[in-house]
Amino acid sequence: MAEPAQAPSSEAPQPEAPKAEEVPKPDEPTTPIQELWAAAKAQSHPEIWGVTLADPATHVPSQIVLQKYLNAKDGDIVKAKEQLIQTLEWRAKIQPLELIKKSFSKTKFEGLGYVTQYYASDEKATEENPEAKEVFTWNIYGGVKSIDDTFGNLEEFINWRVALMELAVQELSLPTATKPITADWDPYKIFQVHDYKSLSFLRQSPQVKAASTETIRVFATAYPELLKEKFFVNVPVIMGFMYGVMKLFVAPKTIKKFHPMSNGGALAKEFGESKVSGLGEKLPTEYGGKGADLKAQGKGPAVE
């Protein structure tokens, strides 16, 4: 027996409602810088280079720090985030700002590192005009009295070297900066000078090789986009080894900022186009300038 035909349903099928356009929630990152900020907030350590990180939308110092990580990786947010997290973990462990307060061995480190700063027309730079100041770090490895003492304890040497770098970063005045940076404009960088006078014999030293390798590795990770130019003066044969190590850890665009020089006395001539007028003349006399020696015009980590 045939079943009766089913009566049509009185409830007609409803057309599917159009999907609302997905919009990010207010607390979700909307830009690469905000994404880096979100990654930073998830870490236990809140500070980089003296800047306590905050929302970069309203906190210029944080924008500068986070933009440097993005610039270092040419805009690759995944790589920038990875390096940022590595830096925060490293700073949580090492506590670089505490190393500045520490006194190091006078026998091992006195006279080996200085920080200097030079101002345009002898007028101090302001937060609105950061280009009016140039900051230098000087590593005077020609002053090493004993390879075993200075380089033998790798952790101690790295701590001293980090303290010197943190002193230089302080001179950039990042916590009070008021001008954001971009991928193309960033005056918050440091000149570095490494003087290897009389140190050609170091090429055979395993302690020096270990210290150089670890310094390059640490600085490549924890201090991105802080180098303006780097000058290796009075260079010995050891530079062949060091350049090989640098290529392992340092980006090619950073390697291009490295300048080996056989004569340290010609260094001042390299700064003819600096925005700090007469910068070359302000350097110490042994580097071709007319300024006082580094001990008189510079500062470094405290020694016992």
Residue 149 has what pLDDT?
Answer: 94
| 202 and 292 in a common domain | yes
pTM (predicted TM-score): 0.85
| 256 and 176 in a common domain | yes
In a domain? residue 259: yes
In a domain? residue 302: no
| 171 and 113 in a common domain | yes
Strands 51-52 and 47-48 come out as antiparallel
In which element (H, E) is residue 216 found?
helix 206-222
Contact 208, 248 (CB under 8 A): no
In a domain? residue 12: no
Most confident of 22-31, 157-166, 226-235: 157-166
- What does the alpha-carbon distance between residue 84 and residue 56 come to, in Å, rounded to a whole number? 15
Nearest to 224 by CA among 104, 52, 7, 48: 48
Residue 259 has what pLDDT?
Answer: 83
Residue 13 has what pLDDT?
Answer: 54
| 244 and 137 in a common domain | yes
Q: Which of 66, 94, 122 finishes a domain?
A: 94
Q: What angle do CA 155, 161, 166 make, to 5 degrees?
A: 120
* Residue 54 buriedness (CB in 10 A; 0-12 / 13-18 / 19+): middle
| 144 and 70 in a common domain | no
Q: Is 150 left (phi over 0), alpha (psi -120 to 50) or beta?
A: alpha
Q: 260: which residues sit within 8 A by CB, 6+ positions away?
A: 232, 235, 239
| 46 and 148 in a common domain | no
In a domain? residue 146: yes
194-250 per-position pLDDT tens digit: 998 876 555 568 888 899 899 999 999 999 999 999 998 988 655 555 655 666 667
Residue 211 has what pLDDT?
Answer: 92
The domain spanning residue 280 has which CATH number? 3.40.525.10
123-157 per-position pLDDT tens digit: 777 878 898 999 999 999 888 989 899 999 999 99
In a domain? residue 26: no
Q: Which of 47, 73, 94 finishes a domain?
A: 94
Tokens (6 digits) for 208: 């020096």
| 182 and 276 in a common domain | yes
- What does the alpha-carbon distance between residue 252 and residue 250 come to, in Å, rounded to a whole number? 6
Residue with tokens 């090989």: 244
| 111 and 52 in a common domain | no
E-strand stretches of the chain: 47-48, 51-52, 113-119, 133-140, 190-195, 227-233, 258-261
Nearest to 243 by CA among 255, 228, 225: 255
The helix, strand and coil proportions of the chain, stated in percent and rounded to the nearest 5, come to 45, 15, 40
Residue with tokens 């952790």: 155
In a domain? residue 20: no
In a domain? residue 17: no
In a domain? residue 27: no
Q: For the chain, what's the residue count? A: 304
Domain that holds residue 277: 104-297
Count up the domains in the chain and report the number: 2
Strands 258-261 and 190-195 come out as unpaired
Tokens (6 digits) for 219: 């600085």
| 167 and 63 in a common domain | no
| 164 and 75 in a common domain | no
Q: Which of 49, 76, 94 finishes a domain?
A: 94
| 62 and 165 in a common domain | no
| 261 and 143 in a common domain | yes
Band (4; pLDDT cuts 50, 70, 90)? very low
